[in-house]
Amino acid sequence: GRACQPQPLQSAAGDVLLWNGEVFGGGVAVADGESDTARLLAVLRAAGEAVPEVLESVHGPWALAYWHAASRTLWYGRDGLGRRSLVRMEGADAAAGCSTLRLCSVAVPLPASAGGEWEELPACGIGCVRLLPDGTASHLWLPRRASLPPPPPAAATLLALSQRETPPTDTAAAEAAEAA
């Protein structure tokens, strides 16, 4: 869009999006002047359980955390090339008697009392934490299913040219290559 989108962005239904990225196309069409954050939130809300498919279709660098209120599900991840940082820490909160998941785009080392260490989130999938009616949580890692988009025609031509064998540089090698 024309201006930065304040975050977190929240819908009227209680969905929340924290987005560090840029949409350059793919499955999420953003009009000129439109906020890609606001557009992505609308697309994710409409996707229901198809959040991984939407995220795999986004072209551009990104990292996000998205809370889908209706399904009580937190989705998190980053683009398949890992161009935006996203770190996580899983641990336990002894005072609350529960497990914790912390996500951050930039983090400093925490004291040992924090209960864990930051680790870079792999770019090969999407994380999903669903809060179940009985108060427990289901935590899944969904491997990425989509491949990278095909290169533009000019890049494909350059790639094909770069994969050809290098021509011989001297006459004897050229004659040997022709004879073979």
Tell me: pLDDT of 25 over 60: yes
**Cβ–Cβ < 8 Å for 155, 162:** no
134: which 2 tokens?
Answer: 């009985």
Helix (H, G, I), strand (E, B) or coil at 47: helix
Rounded to 5°, the CA angle 28-31-33 comes to 130
Give the pLDDT confidence score for residue 174 in this predicted structure. Answer: 52
- In terms of pLDDT, which residue wins out, 91 or 113? 91
173: which 2 tokens?
Answer: 């090698």
- In terms of pLDDT, which residue wins out, 78 or 100? 78
Tell me: pLDDT of 141 over 80: yes
What single letter denotes the amino acid at residue 31? A
Rounded to 5°, the CA angle 77-108-95 comes to 85
**Cβ–Cβ < 8 Å for 115, 91:** yes
103: which 2 tokens?
Answer: 């996500």
For 50-96, the pLDDT digits (tens) are: 999 999 999 999 999 999 999 999 999 999 888 999 999 887 766 76
Tell me: pLDDT of 169 over 60: no
Overall average pLDDT of the 8-15 stretch? 94
Give the confidence band of 45 by pLDDT, cuts at 50, 70, 90.
Answer: very high
Question: Beta strands of 38-146 (E only): which ranges?
Answer: 58-59, 62-68, 73-78, 87-93, 98-104, 119-120, 125-131, 137-143
